[in-house]
Amino acid sequence: MAVTENSQKQETYYESIINQGYSRRDFMKFATFMAAYMGLETSSIAQVVKAMESTPRIPVIWEHFQECTCCSESFIRSDHPIVADVILDRVSLDYTLTLMAASGHQAEAAKHATMEKYKGEYILCVEGSIPMAEEGYCCIAGRSSLDILKEAAAGAKAIIAWGSCASNGCVQAAAPNPTKATPIHKIIKDKPIIRVPGCPPIGEVMAGVIMHVVAFGRLPELDRLGRPKAFYGKRVHDSCYRRPYYDAGLFAESFDDANAKEGYCLYKVGCRGPMTYNSCGSMRWNNGVSFPIQSGHGCIGCSEEEFWDNGPFYERLPNMTGFGIESTADQVGKVAAGVVGAGLVIHAIGANVMKRKELRDRINKGIKTEEQIQA
């Protein structure tokens, strides 16, 4: 048993795919597909093929903490069947408590075996945030999530933070954040972390990221926030098909007006495409069927930091905390300008009263001088 498991671990991705009954042609199609999603040039397809033919499969441990599993859901629905088969297959994925066949002590034992055997080699995928207020808020098998994360991270080669929960905290971290939900990069400081935000991230994006890591054995190019540039380098707005309406200044004012029916830009009904970095406009969702804006709803900025607190979703400006429930920066600004204006009027009246002696004096001096002017 131990021997067969060992030999299975040494399998390359190619072998694993062929063993599952796919043809070489399927494999080539898959490699092309992945290369395209990873944002590689066509000349790099051969590299992807070579990497998958020669590299032994890297073990993946997938942990779930405070989350809703929408990332896993999105992932198993990604476009190409091989993704789910190869990566999420029982054989490939060493530990994921929602999908693995083993359970209970068996599952934990399998995880520990992988962690020990592949120390420093395995990839740790994390879905969900860590409650820092009280460790007991999220426990698995009697252990706190912080404890589990630290243990799993210690031997990991790299960490992939799936979704907004693991990358930014998402809804659990929304004010007042009772559990002090904390994203992974604020806890683990000594490992390379790829942040793949989104609620959930697009399945193909997830596949592209993980394929990049396992096939090339290194991280994709990341931006300043640790997001893969290939998928988070552009704003939704920059690839939105409604962009011509934006530039033409044609906007829907409400979801049921004639402009909305025309398919005009959703900027005025709160679309956050201009502030959101994601691939929705180009990759779309559910096998490229559509994406929120195409379905007539503005982007809610799900891949951006604190997107739950930047509400309301249907207004251009967020409400300001500390200024009442419904006040935006503009309302605060108008009131402040009004108060300042009123203050200045009072000051002007006060100046003419308080300084009346000086004023009268100076006017008289001026008149005197004027009288002295030689005609």
Partner 1 sequence: MADSNDNWYPRNFKRAYVWELPVRVFHWVNFLCIIVLSATGFLISDPPAILSNEDATSQYWFGIIRFTHFAAAYLFTAAIVMRLYWFFVGNQFARWSAYWPWTKEAIKNAKHVVWVDVMLLSKKEHRLEDLSIGHNSVAAFAYLMFFVLFFVMILTGFGLYAPTSEWWLPNMFAWVPSLLGGDFNTRIIHHGAMWLILIISIIHIYLVFYHEWLEGRGEVSSMFSGYKFIRAERMANTYRSPVKQESTKEVEQPAEFDPNDPC
Interface residues toward ligand SF4, by CB under 6 A: 198, 236-237, 240, 242-243, 246, 265-267, 271, 273-274, 276, 278, 280, 291-293, 298-303
Among 48, 317, 322, 325, binds partner 1 (CB under 8 A): 317
**Min dist. Cβ of residue 201 to ligand SF4 (A):** 9
Least distance CB 300 / ligand SF4 (angstroms): 4
If one asks whether residue 256 binds partner 1 (CB under 8 A), the answer comes out as no
Closest CA to 36 of 230, 178, 226: 230
Could you tell me which of 188, 131, 200, 117 has the C-alpha nearest to residue 159? 188
Check residue 177 and report its DSSP letter: -
Please give the helix or strand (H or E) that residue 206 lies within, else none: helix 203-216
Q: Which residue from 105, 109, 69, 106 is spatially nearest to 88, judged by alpha carbons? A: 69
How far apart CA 134 and CA 157 sit, in angstroms, is 28
Segment contacting partner 1 (CB under 8 A): 7-15, 18-26, 211-219, 274-282?
274-282
Return the beta strands (E) in the chain as ranges. 60-64, 93-96, 123-127, 130-131, 139-140, 143-144, 158-162, 181-182, 193-196
**Is 140:79 a contact under the CB 8 Å cutoff?**
no
For position 90 contacting partner 1 by CB under 8 A, the verdict is no
- Single residue of 259, 279, 285, 299 touching partner 1 by CB under 8 A: 259
Shortest Cβ distance from residue 340 to partner 1 (Å)? 5
Task: Give 127's strand partners.
Answer: 64, 162
- Cα separation, 173 vs 206, in Å, equals 22
* Residue placing its CB nearer to ligand SF4 in the complex, 195 or 242: 242
Binder to partner 1 among 28, 141, 336, 342 (CB under 8 A)?
336
To ligand SF4, the closest distance from the beta carbon of 80 in angstroms equals 20
Cβ 145 to partner 1 shortest distance, Å = 24
Q: Is 356 in the site for partner 1 (CB under 8 A)?
A: no
CA angle, corner 243, sides to 162 and 165, nearest 5? Answer: 15
Q: Considering only 69-77, 96-104, 287-295, 324-332, which stretch makes contact with partner 1 by CB under 8 A?
A: 324-332
Euclidean distance between CA atoms 75 and 196, whole angstroms: 12
Site for partner 1 in 5-64 (CB under 8 A): none
3-class DSSP state of 76: helix
Per CB under 8 A, the list member of 275, 282, 314, 327 interacting with partner 1 is 275
Q: For residue 40, how far is the Cα from the chain centroid?
A: 22
Cβ atoms of 209 and 196 closer than 8 Å = yes
Rg (CA), the chain: 29
Q: Give the per-residue contact string, 199-238, with partner 1 (x = CB under 8 A; - = no).
A: ------------------------xxx--------xx--x
Instruction: Name the minimum Å distance from CB 346 to partner 1.
Output: 10
Q: Is 326 in the site for partner 1 (CB under 8 A)?
A: no
* Other CB atoms within 10 A of residue 166 CB: 32
Contact footprint for partner 1 (CB under 8 A): 223-225, 234-235, 238, 244-253, 258-259, 264, 267-268, 272, 274-277, 301, 304-307, 310, 316-318, 329-330, 332-333, 336-337, 340-341, 344, 347-348, 350-351, 354-355, 358-362, 364-366, 368-369, 371-372, 374
